[in-house]
Structure 1
Amino acid sequence: MNQPDDPASLTDLLDRLKARTEGQDHVSVGDILSAVGERSFGPLVLIAGVITLAPLIGDIPGVPTLLGLMVMLTLGQLVFQRHTVWIPAKLSRRTVTRENLVKGLDWMVKPARFLDSWTQQRLTWLVTGPGQYVMAGICMTVAAAMPVMEVIPFSANGAGLALTAFGLAIVARDGLLALLAVLATGGTAWFVLTNIPW
């Protein structure tokens, strides 16, 4: 799931996205995929979570659904043991303004530094081997629910938090963080189920 040139931390991932999209007015999903790496399943989940959490981006109608679709496609390919990530051209061309992207990434800098100082390799069996497929299944469930979360205020932020934690757990090989991500997923599911207008 990780590759040798993957970002080593959340801070590294944010810096890479800003550097590799410099000079563009709009940034597409394809640009993000290229910046992160087309073989980097973990960082792609991480960046989907970060963008969903980020102000000015994650609150745009349709963005959580778009990112949820990207996560499902990405992790579905992991489950079927593809070695590179493929996404449809129509999805790849969807864009956000780089100004909003950078503002959202800048907002994440302090939380990213805090998270990076806390993560370490532990309980690695939860995020490698068979464990990574369990985590992929949970992430896909979160992603599949993201369209519903768009109509329930603040619930997409819970999904973004869960995906960020899962992605960072994969990148840092931190199984304890993966367990916390499972708890965040459970809390988000409870919030969504109790707030759906039946």
Structure 2
Amino acid sequence: MNNAASSPRTLGELLERLQRIDGRDGHVSLDDVLDELGRRAFGPLLLLAGIVTMVPIIGGIPGVPTVMAGLVLLVAVQLLLQRHAIWLPRWLLDRSVTPASLHKACAWLARPARLLDALLYQRWAALVGDHAVLAIAICCIGVALMMPPMELVPFSANGAGLALSGFGLALMAKDGLMALFAFAVSIATLIAIVAGLS
């Protein structure tokens, strides 16, 4: 395991590293992804969970938001506890896709990644500093807890995916403005869920 691997700093770099994974027995598992990204890849894992949740063709599948909620909850709690390496249960690490599916998804995201990466840079450091990271972790825990009920409110999981993607990108690029955007989306999503269930 490549525990010392440095985490990617941009979405483009993340996609490049995902495409390098060959997998084992014809599948790429979450364990393989962590080996490639490093065991401190809190931001990238939040981003991946956000992308999976946000893409309608995947996030709209019953049960997917709940599985992603479990992943986010585990990652966010460990971020809150300031752990230096991510621990995930074996049943989650063994979740897998085919290399072809992973490469196709990466290719589809390549152009948006270039546009998005051009907008991200280090700024508003206070919003991604040590204290702010704790607030981000707490917010991600809240988003994760909201995700199972989102299966009852059409398209609401897209808001959660957008918020998680924003937090992931903010942590990766040290971009406080992106963190602020993600906080705003989280609040808007919570309001939409309450309105949808009432």
Distance 1:107 1:54 in 2: 12
For 1:47-86, list aligned pairs within 5 A.
47-86=48-87
Q: Which residue of 2 aligns with 1:120?
A: 121
**Please, which moves more after superposition, 157-166 or 91-100?**
91-100
The 3 A distance-change label for structure 1 pair 175 and 183 is: same
| Percent identical residues | 44
Q: Which residue of 2 aligns with 1:45?
A: 46
- Aligned residues of 2:121 and 2:174 also touching (Cα < 8 A): yes
| TM-score of the pair, normalised by structure 1 | 0.88
Q: Which residue of 2 aligns with 1:158?
A: 159
Residue 33 of structure 1 aligns to which amino acid in structure 2? Answer: L
Distance 2:112 2:79 in 1: 28
- Aligned residues of 1:158 and 1:185 also touching (Cα < 8 A): yes
The 3 A distance-change label for structure 1 pair 16 and 145 is: same
Distance 1:58 1:98 in 2: 19
Cα deviation digits, residues 81-100 of structure 1 (max 9, x gap): 22110011112112234443
The 3 A distance-change label for structure 1 pair 56 and 77 is: same
Aligned CA RMSD, in angstroms, stands at 2.0
- Aligned residues of 1:55 and 1:104 also touching (Cα < 8 A): no
Runs of 4+ in 1 over 6 A off after TM superposition: none
- Aligned residues of 1:54 and 1:107 also touching (Cα < 8 A): no
The 3 A distance-change label for structure 1 pair 61 and 97 is: farther
Q: Which residue of 1 aligns with 2:130?
A: 129
Q: Which residue of 2 aligns with 1:178?
A: 179
Distance 1:54 1:99 in 2: 18
- Aligned residues of 1:65 and 1:147 also touching (Cα < 8 A): yes
- Aligned residues of 2:11 and 2:113 also touching (Cα < 8 A): yes
The 3 A distance-change label for structure 1 pair 40 and 189 is: same
- Aligned residues of 1:25 and 1:99 also touching (Cα < 8 A): no
Residue 187 of structure 1 aligns to which amino acid in structure 2? Answer: A
Residue 112 of structure 1 aligns to which amino acid in structure 2? Answer: A
TM-fit CA distance, 1:142: 0.6
Residue 105 of structure 1 aligns to which amino acid in structure 2? Answer: C
Cα deviation digits, residues 13-64 of structure 1 (max 9, x gap): 1121122246763332222222322112111111211222235433332222
Distance 2:88 2:24 in 1: 24
Q: Which residue of 1 aligns with 2:139?
A: 138
**Please, which moves more after superposition, 6-15 or 24-33?**
24-33
Which stretches in structure 2 are left out of the alignment for 5+ residues?
Answer: none
Q: Aligned residues, how many? A: 195
- Aligned residues of 2:23 and 2:29 also touching (Cα < 8 A): no
Distance 2:56 2:101 in 1: 8
Residue 193 of structure 1 aligns to which amino acid in structure 2? Answer: V
The 3 A distance-change label for structure 1 pair 89 and 23 is: closer
- Aligned residues of 2:56 and 2:158 also touching (Cα < 8 A): no
Q: Which residue of 2 aligns with 1:105?
A: 106
